[in-house]
Amino acid sequence: MLSMRLKLAALDDFATLRRLFDDPSLSGWGGLGRPSDALIRAKYLGTRLSEVECFIVLVEEEAVGIVQMHSEGGGSAGIDLILSSAARGQGTGRLVVDAIIAPARERGIDRLTVDPDVKNEHGIRFWRAVGFELRSTTGEEVGREPYLLMCREVE
């Protein structure tokens, strides 16, 4: 069984996040190419928006991905997840989704949402497999490919 845990990103995690974003399998995540150091510090180390939390995914204490949780108000939070290619297909994503439930509950969140692109068939299958259900399809947003809005209740 994999040893996986989430570590809330802190200012001293910059080097870890830089290494993750330099991994080609994370290229383009979040609409970014290779993010600048300043953007990593602002967007992923909590200095930009207090309602967005970034967790580093550790497997056997090695950083293999990132999961963000951002409050949407009304007891709802969106999550974004990216894993390095080496961590995919081994059950890590399922462990991450299970692990994000505790901090969500602590923050009074009762519903999680995700928004995979319509063309991301693998991602859509994954989110369905971990309990997310389709709520709507959006195709009218400027600067974004059409995507699905999927939700899961926090047990």
**What CATH number is attached to the domain comprising 18?**
3.40.630.30
In the chain, the number of structural domains is 1
Angle (CA) 59 151 139, round 5°: 110
The amino acid present at 6, given as its one-letter code, is L
User: Rounded to whole angstroms, how far apart are CA atoms 16 and 1?
Assistant: 24
Give the per-residue pLDDT at 31: 62
Q: How confident is the prediction along the chain (155 residues), in pLDDT tens digits per residue?
A: 679 999 999 989 999 999 998 888 887 666 667 788 888 888 888 666 667 889 999 999 999 999 999 988 888 999 999 999 888 888 999 999 999 988 898 889 999 999 998 998 999 999 999 999 999 888 777 777 888 999 999 97
CA-to-CA distance for 59 and 10, rounded, in angstroms? 18
- The pLDDT assigned to 149 comes to 93
pTM summary value: 0.89
Give the residue numbers spanning the domain of 11: 4-153
